[in-house]
Amino acid sequence: MWELKEENKKRTKTGRKLEAHERLGLEFDPMQKKVLMSRAKRGLLNCCRQWGKSTVTAAKAVLHAESRPGSLTLVVSPSARQSGEFLRKTTEFARRLGIRPRGDGDNEISLELPNRARIVGLPGSEATIRGFSAVSLLLVDEAARVSDELYLAVRPMLAVSDGALWLMSTPFGKRGFFYEAWVHGGPEWERYRAPGTECPRIRAEFLEEELRAMGERWFRQEYLCEFEDTVSGVFDMDAVERAVTEEVEPLRL
C-alpha cells in the first residue's frame, strides 16, 4: 500500500508487517478498508450518514503524509469548523503512529509532521483558499454541500503535482459537482457506495425508526445514498432531462 521507509515499518512479533488499520489501532469494515487501501488518483465515496467517512479519510490523509516527506494534503469542507474537526482526527491518528504533530506556523487549521509533510484544512470560501500549489492529496469532505465555485478553485492546485483527488459525501439532491461526477464522471473515477443497510455499525431497527421519522425521500438520500430531486422542484429532474434535445433547432425571433 504505502511505501514506508524501513525504520517506519512496524511488525508483529512474528515478523509480519502490520496493516494500516492495525498500526492505527482501529477496526475497519471491508468497504472502509478498500477506501483506505485504494491508490486511485480520482475517488468518489458516496456514503450514508455516520458511516465513518471522516475517520477513514483522516486516516488516509495521515498515512499519505507519513510516507511522503514534504508533501501537502489539503482538506476542503463547507466550513472552517468542519475542517477543524477533520484535522483533530488526523492529529489523533498521528499520535497513534508515535508522531508528534504540530501546526505548520502559517495556517490556523494545519498539521505538520517531522518529515515536513503538511495537512491543511480550508474553510468553505472560494475567496480565501487560493495560493496553494503542488498538492499531493486533495480531499473534499461533505462534497455535496461544497459550492461549485470552491471546487473549481481548488482543482488547479493539482496541476503541477498531478496529485490525487477524493470527493466524499452523503448525497444532497441532483445538483452540483459531486452529483455530476458520480453520475456523469468518466472511468477515471473509482466509485464506492456505502448505504446504511450495508453498514455493520447501524442497526436495522434504527433504520426502520429513521424511515418512519424522515419519510421515504429523505431516508433514501441520508441512508441509501440516492440522489433525490430537490423538495422545491415542481417536475421530476429525470423527466426534465428527457424532455431536452439537441435535435430541434431553436426558434430565432
Residue with cell 525504520: 7
Q: What is the pLDDT of residue 25?
A: 80
Cα gap 208→45, rounded to integer Å:
24
| Alpha-carbon distance values, 71 to 6, 63, 66, 134 (Å) | 19, 12, 9, 8
Domain boundaries, the chain: 6-243
* pLDDT score of 242: 45
pLDDT of the residue at 106: 86
* pLDDT value at residue 18: 63
124 vs 102: CA distance, rounded Å: 23
Q: Which CATH class is domain 6-243?
A: alpha beta
Eight-class DSSP state of 17: B
pTM for the structure as a whole: 0.81
CA–CA gap between residue 173 and residue 147 (Å, rounded): 13
What pLDDT, on the 0 to 100 scale, is given for residue 132? 85
The x, y and z cell numbers of residue 212, run together, are: 418512519
Instruction: Cell 472552517: give the residue.
Output: 80
Per-residue pLDDT of the chain (253 residues; tens, 9 = 90+): 233 333 344 544 445 566 766 788 888 999 999 999 999 999 999 999 999 999 999 999 999 999 999 999 999 999 889 999 999 999 999 999 999 889 988 888 999 999 999 999 987 666 667 778 899 999 999 999 999 999 999 999 999 999 999 999 999 999 999 999 999 999 999 999 999 999 999 999 999 999 999 999 999 999 999 999 865 444 454 444 444 455 666 555 5
136, 163 contact by CB (below 8 A): yes
